[in-house]
């Protein structure tokens, strides 16, 4: 049977190897930014802000919620924890988790309808404020586009500002794998998306915000990285972030200084 992607044609997006080259990250990022105050200044004058989605923009990990819905939650949650901590490559973790879940199109649609993703407190206000300041906002996720598009719609983020993975289904709705041609399904993908955005829009200052290893690794090419621990605190990320926040209110307060 022929497979097809969910939600239209593939769009270029990206992902990373979750093995954090932490020392390399510090050497690179610290060439231009060495203090929390400099990171804050970069955020205040950003031309574009890119958000991770799972456990950042939304409270949950989308793939874990899908696994629970399909009755294999425990097995997949541990794999997600390892992936987010940087102990395995993202592509391997994604492939292994989906091979356990093997969700149908009907199950995915029912999950979104019955258990829609829950926005993290303060994210709507933050995105609205950024839009008011004519800052471009993007969602770059290792999660699934069908879920991330729902989130983008809630936040008034254009769907062409969404970069995420695509589950594939056979025409009868059965699981057929995932689209591994997407940048977000490969190591280094989030950084490649940011490079692409810089080339496409001419951005000079791009900030990445997220909770996981793939987000931290996006700096560079991101001008700055802000670690987010409002839903889950990952010690490795907290330790290696030049600026680490636990609520979006802290970012809103920073914008008030402008």
E strand spans, the chain: 3-5, 48-51, 136-144, 162-165, 167-170, 175-178, 206-210, 224-228, 244-245
Is 128 labeled as catalytic in the residue annotation?
no
CA–CA separation, 218 and 49 (whole Å): 12
Of 54, 64, 179, 215, which residue is the catalytic one?
A: 54
Structural contact between residues 147 and 162, judged by C-beta atoms closer than 8 angstroms: no
Is 52 labeled as catalytic in the residue annotation?
yes
CA–CA separation, 7 and 193 (whole Å): 20
CA–CA separation, 248 and 228 (whole Å): 8
Distance set, CA 126 to CA 168, 205, 250, 252 (Å): 33, 18, 10, 6
Residues assigned a catalytic role = 52, 54
């Amino acid at each position: 049977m022929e497979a097809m992607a969910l939600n239209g044609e593939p769009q270029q997006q990206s992902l990373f190897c979750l093995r954090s080259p932490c020392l390399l990250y510090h050497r690179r990022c610290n060439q231009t930014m060495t203090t929390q105050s400099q990171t804050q200044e970069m955020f205040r004058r950003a031309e574009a802000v890119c958000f991770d989605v799972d456990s950042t923009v939304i409270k949950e990990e989308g793939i874990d919620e899908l696994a629970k819905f399909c009755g294999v939650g425990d097995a997949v949650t541990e794999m997600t924890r390892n992936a987010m901590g940087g102990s395995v490559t993202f592509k391997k973790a994604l492939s292994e988790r989906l091979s356990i879940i093997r969700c149908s199109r009907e199950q995915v649609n029912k999950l979104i309808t019955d258990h829609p993703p829950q926005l993290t407190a303060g994210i709507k206000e933050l995105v609205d404020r950024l839009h008011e300041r004519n800052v471009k906002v993007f969602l770059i996720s290792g999660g699934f586009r069908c879920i991330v598009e729902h989130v983008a719609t809630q936040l008034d983020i254009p769907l062409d500002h969404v970069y995420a993975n695509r589950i594939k289904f056979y025409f009868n709705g059965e699981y057929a794998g995932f689209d591994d041609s997407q940048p977000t399904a490969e190591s280094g993908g989030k950084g490649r998306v940011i490079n692409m955005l810089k080339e496409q829009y001419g951005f000079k200052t791009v900030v990445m915000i997220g909770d996981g290893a793939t987000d931290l690794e996006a700096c560079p090419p991101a001008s700055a990285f802000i670690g987010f621990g409002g839903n889950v605190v990952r010690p490795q990320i907290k330790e290696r972030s030049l600026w680490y926040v636990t609520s979006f209110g802290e970012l809103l307060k920073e914008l008030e200084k402008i």
